[in-house]
Structure formats: C-alpha cells, structure tokens
Chain A
Amino acid sequence: MSNVPSELKYTATHEWVRKEADGTCFVGITEHAQELLGDMVFVELPEVEDEVAAGDDVAVCESVKAASDIYSPISGVIVAVNEDLEGTPEQVNNDPFGDGWIFQIKPSEPEELDDLLSAEDYANTLDED
C-alpha cells in the first residue's frame, strides 16, 4: 500500500497539492503514480509565469516505457519549477512528496482547493483499482 500523507490534497489523476503559508501551492505526483510509471528518465516542466487552468496538462513525466501528462490540479500562475529534475528525474521516484515536487503555482481561484480529494478519499480510489 502506497504512502498517502494526510496533510496533502489529491486529484483522481494522482497529483498531490501542498499549500504553503504564503498561499502558493507545490504540486507533484503521488508515490502510487511514480510506482505505476517506473524509473523516471525525464520530466518536462512548465514555464514559469505560464497561466494555467485547473485540468490543463502542464508537465509530462516520462519513464523508459511510458509518458504521462501531469494536470494542474488548480488554476493559477506557475511561480517556480523544480529545475533539479532536469538532471535528476529520479527524485520523483525517490522522494515523490518532497524533492520530487514538479512545480509551484499561485492559485487564482483558491476555492478550487476545496474540490480536491482528501488523503482518505484518494486512498480509497487506490483501493478500488
């Protein structure tokens, strides 16, 4: 059973969201998602200052055999991307909820956060798989 930290919010498409004190959010993919994809060889990052809507595909995680779009869980402006992943994409495998974060976004509609899945609800979707 994958680790699903209780303090994060989730999407059905396996992204996680961590809200910071300054109102911005970090986004990455869950431990379960990186297990499904396998050893990461490349992460295509969005551009800083891109405006995105909830559900837009903004990044791509690639393993040797699969490529998976990463959707922005919420609307907003990209304020930072994890440039470390350009050299060490395996951080997504090794530390999906920490150093494996993909981008940081400043929400334009913070209430969208309320629509995301709780850890418990997300864990339940995994059980159904």
Chain B
Amino acid sequence: MTAPSNRSLSSLEQKDVFVRRHIGPSEQEIAAMLTDTGASSLDDLIEQTVPAAIRLPQPLATGESRTEQEVLAYLKSVAAKNTVAKSYIGMGYYPTLVPNVILRNILENPGWYTAYTPYQPEIAQGRLESLLNFQQLSMDLTGMDLASASLLDEATAAAEAMALAKRVSKNKKANLFYVADTVHPQTIDVLQTRAEAFGFEVEVGPATVLSDESIAGKDIFGALFQYPTSEGDIVDIRDQIKAVQDAKGVACVAADIMALMLLKSPGELGADVVLGSAQRFGVPMGYGGPHAAFFATRDKYKRALPGRIIGVSKDTNGKTALRMAMQTREQHIRREKANSNICTAQVLLANMAAFYAVYHGPEGLKTIAQRINRYTDILAAGLSKKGITPVNGHWFDTLTLAVDNKDEIVSRAQAAGINLRLDLDGKLGVSLHEVVTRSDIAQLWDVLLGEGHALEIDNIDAELTAADASSIPAELQRETAVLEHPVFNSYHSETEMLRYIKRLENKDLALNHSMISLGSCTMKLNATAEMIPVTWPEFGELHPFCPAEQATGYKTMIDQLSDWLVDITGYDAICMQPNSGAQGEYAGLLAIQKYHESRGEGHRNVCLIPASAHGTNPASAQMVSMKVVVVACDKQGNVDMDDLRAKAEELADSLSCIMITYPSTHGVYEDTIQEICDVVHQHGGQVYLDGANMNAQVGVTSPGFIGADVSHLNLHKTFCIPHGGGGPGMGPIGVKKHLAPFVAGHTQFDLGNENGAVSAAPFGSASILPISWVYIALMGGIGLKKATEVAILNANYLVAKLKGHFPILYTGQNDRVAHECIIDMRPLKEATGITEMDVAKRLIDYGFHAPTMSFPVAGTLMVEPTESESKVELDRFIEAMLSIRNEISKVEQGDWTLEDNPLVHAPHTQYDVIEADWQHSYDRKTAVYPVSAVAANKFWPSVNRIDDVYGDRNLFCACVPMSEYE
C-alpha cells in the first residue's frame, strides 16, 4: 500500500468516488468474483461474453467522472437559468401546493420511490392500498363505476379513451371520432397522431353541433368533450352526450379534477368514459411531468380498460388483500390483442395525488376549490367593472378575455413575471389555482387593466357574498357527496398523516431493504444525489408551455443529456418526448412508418417480432396498424436465422421493420445480431432495437454501432430514474439521421418539425430528466462502461454459484450470460410439484423480492442483479436460493409432503408464527428465519399468498371498509 504522503493530489481528490459508490462490489470483491467466474479480469470477461464484432473500438466521449458536490453545483447553475414565473396559463397544468409531509415522506422517500411495480402483491400492500385510494378518488369525482391506476398524462389518456371507444362501440362500421374544439390543443394533437396511426378519422368541431340532427346522423364510434372547456367555460353537455350515445358512440369527457369538487360529475351527465390529469392534486408541474392521469368508466366496459387496475381479493387465510386485477387485458399477456401497449404507469404520482386527497379530505378539497373559484369570481368582477367581460359566461378557475391591447398587456405581464395563456387569437387566458393569494389578484388587475384601477378585493368579495350568485351554472353544481370513505376523513393532523404514510410504507419491500433482481427491469441504485434536483423549484415549477426563454436551463440540461445519449447509443438524434418505454416504441414505429411514406413506400406494414419479445412490442406494432409476424427462436433461445431469412424474403415487399431486444430477452448476446440487421435492411426494412436491456450495452457496444435504426431508452432502467413503485418512466428514442425528420413534434412548442405529438408535453416527464443527467455526469464515460462490466460480472457470478443447483436456461458464447440469467424451475416442478411461484413467494420469507416470474419463458425465474449490488448481497441471495433448493430436495425425498412444506405455504406472516396451534411439519423458525442472515433484516409480509382467481372472479376495485385491514 502506498504511504499517504506519497499520493498525488488528484488521487486524493477522488473524482471517481461516486463510481465506487454506485457500483456494489469493491475492487477486492470484483477480483474474487472474477476468480469464481473463471475470468482473469473484467476485460477478459467482456471478451469472453460480448461478440468481438460489436465491441466498441473507442471509449465513450462522455467525459470524466465527477464528484456529487461538483455535479450538483454545476446543475444548480444550469437550473438557475430557468425563470420561475407566476403561471396562469392553465391548459391542464396548474401550480399546486405539495403538502410538505407528502413531499418529504413520499416524493423524497426511497421507501416509496425505489419500489417496483406491485407484481408481488404480498410485499406491496402499502402502495396497492394507496392506489386503491386513487381509484376511489377517481370514481367519486367522475361519478363512474370503475377507475384505473393510472395512465401517463391527460392527452394519452384521451387517446386511450378513443381506442376504448372503438373497441366497445356498437357502431362497428364507424371510423370517426369526434373531438370538440373546446378540448386542450395538446390533447387534440396527441389524438390526431394516434388516430392516424390506428387508421381512424378525427373531426374537430364545435361541441354544440353534435346535438343537431345533421350531426346525430354522423357515423361516429365516439366523441370527446372537455369539462370545463379549455377556455374555461362550463357547458351542460348532457344533450351532446346523448346524441353521441344515440349514434351508438361512446361519450368521453376530459375533466378537471379540482373543478369536479364543485361540478356535477360527468357520470351524472351520462358520460361513458371520464379522464383527466391529477397533477393539480399536489404534484408539481415539472415542465410537463411526470403526473398521473385518471381514467374511469362504466362497469360494463371494465374488460376494455387500458392499463393497471387494482382489485381486492383474499389471501390464503381469508384476509383482505389487494393486487393488480384482470391482467389478461394487458400487453404482457395479450400482446397484439391487448387493450393498449401501456406498461409503466405513474404510480408515485398517483400516490401523491391520492395522499393529497387523504390529507385534505373532502371538506379541505372543497374549500380549496371554492377559494380558487372565489378568486376567479373576484378577478372577473373587477375586470367587468372596468369593461373587460370574460368571453366565457361561466367558469371555475379560467377566464378567457377578448382584448384589443393584447401586446400591451403581454408586455406588462412579462415585466411582472407573469405568464398568461397567449395562443388564442385576439384573446388571453387566465387560469387561477391553489397557490393564488390576494396580492396575486391585485397584481393581475394591474397587468390586465394597467395601474390605477382602484379595485379593492374586500369590496368586491362583499358584493359577491351579498349577491349570492355563482359562476357555475346552477344545474351543473355538485350535489352528491364525495370521498366519504373513512380513509379520506381520518388523517387530517400531520401526526396521523405521517403515520399513515409510514404504515403503508412498512408493508412494501423497496430497494432500501434488499435487492430486487427483476430480470429486464434493471433495479439499480437510484442515488440520492440524482434525486435531489427533482424537487428544486427551478425544475419543478415550470409550466410546459411557458415561453422558451424562461426554460433555457431545461434546454441546456436536455441538450447535454441528448448529446451524451447520442454518444452512448451511437445514434444521431434523440427525441425526449415519449414518457414511457412503450410510448417510445410507438414513437419509434411512427418514425419508421413516416420514413417509409416519405420514400413512397407507405404500404410497408409488416413488423417482424421474435417469439421471445416483450409484450409491449406487438402491442405497439398494433397501435400503428402494423401486421405482426412472429419469428421463431431456436433451441438455444436465439432468433432462428433461417426462419428470419425466409420471412424477410417472402415479405420483402411489405416489410416495414423488425423489433428486437439486445441482448435478447433471454439474457444472451446473440452473435447474429448484425446479420439480423443486414437481412432486414436488405429487404427494405428498418431495425427497431428495444432498449430495455441497454444496461448490458453502455460503453461496451451500442445499438447504432450494431446497425439498428431506432431504439427507445428506458431512462427508468439503465439511467437511474427510480421505478416509483410502477412509474414514472421516460422512454426517449434515439434515431439514425434518416429517421430524425420523423420524430414527434408538438403543437405548443417548436421542436423543429411539423409532426404530431405522442405525449401531452414537449419533453415528456421533463422534471425527472435531471436524474439521468446527474447519473451520467457523475459516472463519466469510464464509470459508465465499468457499470456495464460489473452488471455482466454480477450476473455471471450468480450463474457460477447457482448452475450446479439449478439449470440455467440460455447462455451465449463461452457459456456466458449477459446482465441477467434465466433459472429454469420446470425440471424441479416436474420432479417435485414445487413451482416457480412457490420459490418466488418463499424468497419473501428470506427477505427478497422475487426475480421476474415466467417471462420470457413460462416456469422460469429471470434474475438481473445489476452492478449496484455488492458481493455481500449477491451471496445472501445465493445462500437463500441454495437453502430453497435444499427445501425442495426435502419435498423430493419425502421429508415434507407437497401439501405441507414451507414453500407452498410461503410467504409466512408474523401472525402465522404467533398462532398457538402450529400445524405444520416444519417448525416456526424454518418458516420465518430459515437462515441466520434473515434475522438481521427481517421483512414481514403483511398478508399470506393472495388468491388471484377469487379476485378476478369477484372483481372489486374500490376502497374496502377499514375493518378489513385489521
């Protein structure tokens, strides 16, 4: 060891200190693991594992690693270039007061943000309960039977409503979806893009026309209305809804969640589908996201619902337990026949909105809504006195003003640091919100009227109180109660609220407890330093449609991130708009389609997809009206090259693209990948390389280098955005130069093209992009490459330790796996009757979240440890797996029967082991402390194994009586 005095200053500065903290194993551990794995060095391991032809010849140009302090100080200076103006733009995005108890204990709490999607419900009852609260909130406010949890944003929720309408409308021959021109423009943009891809027609026109006889005869499968309208009016749409339904169409309503506290629910007006953004329930605007969208419908359309729904079921002891319901509707099972390609939802944000409702309760929320409405009344009354009467006759929070001095007002607004809605010809929009105070109203008068107006808030308020008039039409005022369930009426002191949040958190296993080795999901470290900028106001409080010059900090950050991702992917351009991986797939396929059209080859519509693909791939292809042709896999799990060549040749005239994951979903670097790209290109197709497994590529190879044309990047996998318990995600796409002109555009923001939008905001969920930015900045090019190498080492170390005890299903050259491996449980099931499900649930007793179950091969477990797990944690997992293997042997040898052993009864709760009458052939210690390591960090599941069948046969998706949780 070098004496301290002899070390250079640069080594003492430890610029690479973060790399060491992000990567789990120490240098000594890496050396030991390499020995166990049979490699002499990381370089040797990579040479053994990754085909030589695709290894990058040069290092990443992504710079040197930096310290947390340096990176955050620099990013703070970038963020400072953003201007946080007072936003009255509205259009679906409103400043909100995030309750601090929610900010710190949910949004900034790894117990909530590092959890995975609740596919293992026994260790996810906390967030499932909160999501059930979100569904109850959605149902109460919309007046509908059933709600989901959750969609990505209001505009894509509207697009999902359109797709649902097409599925369920009895007017099967109709191909037209009517959109009221009172809908937010970004929603119309997204709808038009989606409709074109589906081959639907969209007609945008006045909402009133629909009640005319001339329109009632239109051949429509559905229509969408905005309530209140984009310009703030509150219109009774009962006749329009009925006209749509008389035409056998489905009536959809996009509604404002805060306004619904005071308005008659769309359900009471007759709507079939109600959707909208839950952003203003305590989730920052974040320059466009992430926020949760709510989506509610009639019971009879439940099987047509897109995305995740939480349902109530029972565990094996008959205790109430929650889990995701009716999953057969979804892409991971139904593939191209799924209701939607949606996978990642917005769980963290849906939970924030649900807790916001729990925190305020019905009275609190009503007071907030009434205050917003009263401020709007006061603002309007003052303006009317001075001769500016709002264009909209009724309002909740938004006034549209026809002014002849728009330029003058806008310049006064700019000087005052105020953003108004400006995109309306000859008019201005002013939308108020929860954050508005008296002084803001006075300032708005100054801006709109000029100083010296002499209006007094108290005087006007007194006049309004005396007049007893309402800006909401009498027939549209809410009369029904909402949020009567005790959960919304019990936690109104901060102490109670804090403990409710903690109580739910305690039921969930997240990364701050133990490894979550979900194959294909890359549950790596979400470092605290990466998370810190997310809640900086300079990133959080920008409206997505604010003037571009107020968002130069965002532009700088996004441009840098794009440059880095260009370097990492080997592509030429990045489109930041898609806000999930599945949406990235859709956006990438759209680009491919438009590229073919530009060359007069718009007829190309066949999408080749290997049998092993993620379900989102065929579901996304279906959204752009492509025909899915499945390519077979050979016995080694690789793409069957003969089948590929035959199909590409046979379909050469209609071949649009292939969608392929690399390394494969089987966790193998197929050495034929470049040949696959060549074959598809030779026959006129494009290559979509699914970036789900990018964590095995960064710095070692790249999709661009391999020869692909477009990929999405799951920033919530490879680039450290936390999973949030099932969202948010970000799915930007990288493209080669020839596809760059065909990526998403946006109606409200100049992205340099005229293309349609795929998501509501120009840069998707922009406020979580700093997470990926910080990660890359901290790691630098060398650190990123090392992360990939250690991810591969960790997976191969697991294989080395487990392969003598469990069969490993697929391997590549030199018997190596990539960054994940598939443990085949089928032979053991055949021999003993113990299933992969039993093993997954038994892992809970050992304190682990199960690996991916039965994907991509039924009856298997797919393990992806990631680079962030230390040797200590991997060894603990190995110990658990070997101990479980030993338990299976005892069943095999007849020591335990198949009906009574710790595997089939797993997971065990605390309640199980305190029961006086223990009836099992194994002891209590074996049940809950099977190995000594468990004792140091025991995780108690709150329920026993959940009965999925009962839940799906007896679907119930609302809050249950509180006593059920006792």
Which A residues form the contact surface with B (CB < 8 A)?
Answer: 39, 41-42, 44, 62-67, 69, 89-90
Whether B949 sits at the interface, judged by CB under 8 Å, is yes
Residue contact A67 to B953, C-beta cutoff 8 Å: no
Supply 14 A–B pairs (Cβ within 8 Å), ascending by A: A39-B949, A42-B303, A62-B328, A62-B952, A63-B328, A64-B327, A64-B948, A64-B949, A65-B333, A65-B948, A66-B333, A67-B334, A69-B337, A89-B953
Q: A62-B328, A64-B327 are in contact. Are A41 and B949 (CB under 8 A)?
A: yes
- Report the 4 A-B pairs with minimum CB-CB distance, sorted nearest first: A41-B952, A67-B328, A64-B948, A39-B949
| Minimal beta-carbon separation of B498 from chain A (angstroms) | 36
| Minimal beta-carbon separation of A13 from chain B (angstroms) | 15
CA distance A48 to B828 in the complex (A): 46
CA distance A62 to B949 in the complex (A): 11
Residue contact A66 to B328, C-beta cutoff 8 Å: yes
Residue of A nearest to B334 (CB): A67
Please indicate the chain B residues that have their CB under 8 angstroms from the CB of A66 in the complex. Answer: 328, 333
Please indicate the chain B residues that have their CB under 8 angstroms from the CB of A89 in the complex. Answer: 953
Query: Which of A44, A65, A66, A69 counts the most chain B CB atoms within 10 A?
Result: A65
Please indicate the chain A residues that have their CB under 8 angstroms from the CB of B952 in the complex. Answer: 41-42, 62, 64
Please indicate the chain B residues that have their CB under 8 angstroms from the CB of A65 in the complex. Answer: 327-328, 333, 854, 948
CA distance A44 to B333 in the complex (A): 16
- Given A41-B952, A64-B327, 10 more contacts at CB 8 Å? A42-B303, A42-B326, A42-B328, A44-B303, A64-B952, A65-B327, A65-B854, A67-B328, A67-B333, A89-B953
| Minimal beta-carbon separation of B168 from chain A (angstroms) | 12
Please indicate the chain A residues that have their CB under 8 angstroms from the CB of B953 in the complex. Answer: 41, 89-90
CA distance A3 to B952 in the complex (A): 28
Residues of B910-966 at the interface with A, using a CB-CB cut-off of 8 Å, are 948-949, 952-953
CA distance A44 to B302 in the complex (A): 12
CA distance A89 to B854 in the complex (A): 25
| Minimal beta-carbon separation of A52 from chain B (angstroms) | 14
Residues of B302-349 at the interface with A, using a CB-CB cut-off of 8 Å, are 303, 326-328, 333-334, 337
CA distance A66 to B334 in the complex (A): 8
Please indicate the chain A residues that have their CB under 8 angstroms from the CB of B854 in the complex. Answer: 65
Chain B positions 369 through 393: 1 when the CB is less than 8 Å from some CB of chain A, otherwise 0: 0000000000000000000000000
Residue of B nearest to A64 (CB): B948
Question: In the complex, how many residues of chain B place their beta carbon closer than 8 angstroms to a beta carbon of chain A?
Answer: 12
Please indicate the chain A residues that have their CB under 8 angstroms from the CB of B333 in the complex. Answer: 65-67
Please indicate the chain B residues that have their CB under 8 angstroms from the CB of A44 in the complex. Answer: 303
Which B residues form the contact surface with A (CB < 8 A)?
Answer: 303, 326-328, 333-334, 337, 854, 948-949, 952-953
CA distance A39 to B328 in the complex (A): 13
Please indicate the chain B residues that have their CB under 8 angstroms from the CB of A69 in the complex. Answer: 337
Please indicate the chain A residues that have their CB under 8 angstroms from the CB of B303 in the complex. Answer: 42, 44
| Minimal beta-carbon separation of A73 from chain B (angstroms) | 20
CA distance A33 to B896 in the complex (A): 31
Residue of B nearest to A65 (CB): B333
Query: Which of B303, B328, B854, B948 counts the most chain A CB atoms within 10 A?
Result: B328
CA distance A44 to B337 in the complex (A): 14
Residue of B nearest to A57 (CB): B337
Residue of B nearest to A88 (CB): B953
CA distance A44 to B301 in the complex (A): 12
CA distance A41 to B952 in the complex (A): 6
| Minimal beta-carbon separation of B829 from chain A (angstroms) | 14
CA distance A73 to B769 in the complex (A): 53
CA distance A67 to B333 in the complex (A): 7
Residue of B nearest to A62 (CB): B328
CA distance A87 to B362 in the complex (A): 36
Please indicate the chain B residues that have their CB under 8 angstroms from the CB of A63 in the complex. Answer: 328, 949
| Minimal beta-carbon separation of B117 from chain A (angstroms) | 16
| Minimal beta-carbon separation of A46 from chain B (angstroms) | 13
| Minimal beta-carbon separation of A81 from chain B (angstroms) | 16
Please indicate the chain A residues that have their CB under 8 angstroms from the CB of B326 in the complex. Answer: 42
| Minimal beta-carbon separation of B481 from chain A (angstroms) | 32
Query: Which of A44, A62, A66 counts the most chain B CB atoms within 10 A?
Result: A62
CA distance A39 to B313 in the complex (A): 15
Please indicate the chain B residues that have their CB under 8 angstroms from the CB of A67 in the complex. Answer: 328, 333-334, 337
CA distance A42 to B327 in the complex (A): 12
Residue of B nearest to A44 (CB): B303
Please indicate the chain B residues that have their CB under 8 angstroms from the CB of A90 in the complex. Answer: 953
CA distance A124 to B263 in the complex (A): 64
Query: Which of A41, A63, A66, A89 counts the most chain B CB atoms within 10 A?
Result: A41
CA distance A62 to B854 in the complex (A): 17
CA distance A69 to B326 in the complex (A): 16
Residue of A nearest to B330 (CB): A67
CA distance A63 to B337 in the complex (A): 16
CA distance A90 to B328 in the complex (A): 16
Query: Which of A64, A66, A67, A69 counts the most chain B CB atoms within 10 A?
Result: A64
| Minimal beta-carbon separation of B859 from chain A (angstroms) | 11
CA distance A62 to B333 in the complex (A): 10
Residue of A nearest to B323 (CB): A64
Please indicate the chain A residues that have their CB under 8 angstroms from the CB of B328 in the complex. Answer: 41-42, 62-67
Please indicate the chain B residues that have their CB under 8 angstroms from the CB of A62 in the complex. Answer: 328, 952
CA distance A64 to B948 in the complex (A): 7
| Minimal beta-carbon separation of A63 from chain B (angstroms) | 7
CA distance A63 to B949 in the complex (A): 8
Please indicate the chain B residues that have their CB under 8 angstroms from the CB of A42 in the complex. Answer: 303, 326, 328, 952
CA distance A65 to B303 in the complex (A): 15
Residue of B nearest to A87 (CB): B953
CA distance A53 to B469 in the complex (A): 63
CA distance A65 to B333 in the complex (A): 7
CA distance A41 to B326 in the complex (A): 9
CA distance A29 to B948 in the complex (A): 22
| Minimal beta-carbon separation of B304 from chain A (angstroms) | 11
| Minimal beta-carbon separation of A34 from chain B (angstroms) | 13
CA distance A67 to B328 in the complex (A): 6
Residue of B nearest to A69 (CB): B337
| Minimal beta-carbon separation of B588 from chain A (angstroms) | 27
| Minimal beta-carbon separation of A70 from chain B (angstroms) | 13
| Minimal beta-carbon separation of A87 from chain B (angstroms) | 9
CA distance A34 to B303 in the complex (A): 21
Please indicate the chain B residues that have their CB under 8 angstroms from the CB of A39 in the complex. Answer: 949
| Minimal beta-carbon separation of B354 from chain A (angstroms) | 26
| Minimal beta-carbon separation of B810 from chain A (angstroms) | 22
CA distance A64 to B953 in the complex (A): 9
CA distance A65 to B324 in the complex (A): 12
CA distance A64 to B325 in the complex (A): 8
CA distance A64 to B854 in the complex (A): 13
Please indicate the chain A residues that have their CB under 8 angstroms from the CB of B949 in the complex. Answer: 39, 41, 63-64
CA distance A65 to B326 in the complex (A): 9
CA distance A111 to B333 in the complex (A): 36
Please indicate the chain B residues that have their CB under 8 angstroms from the CB of A64 in the complex. Answer: 327-328, 948-949, 952
CA distance A41 to B953 in the complex (A): 5
CA distance A63 to B858 in the complex (A): 15
CA distance A42 to B955 in the complex (A): 11
CA distance A67 to B952 in the complex (A): 13
| Minimal beta-carbon separation of B845 from chain A (angstroms) | 23
| Minimal beta-carbon separation of B234 from chain A (angstroms) | 39
CA distance A65 to B854 in the complex (A): 10
CA distance A44 to B328 in the complex (A): 12
CA distance A44 to B948 in the complex (A): 19
| Minimal beta-carbon separation of A64 from chain B (angstroms) | 4
CA distance A99 to B948 in the complex (A): 24
CA distance A8 to B337 in the complex (A): 30
Please indicate the chain A residues that have their CB under 8 angstroms from the CB of B334 in the complex. Answer: 67
Query: Which of B337, B854, B952 counts the most chain A CB atoms within 10 A?
Result: B952
| Minimal beta-carbon separation of B222 from chain A (angstroms) | 20
CA distance A79 to B334 in the complex (A): 28
| Minimal beta-carbon separation of A67 from chain B (angstroms) | 4
| Minimal beta-carbon separation of B303 from chain A (angstroms) | 7
CA distance A65 to B953 in the complex (A): 13
CA distance A60 to B333 in the complex (A): 13
CA distance A106 to B828 in the complex (A): 47
| Minimal beta-carbon separation of A111 from chain B (angstroms) | 30
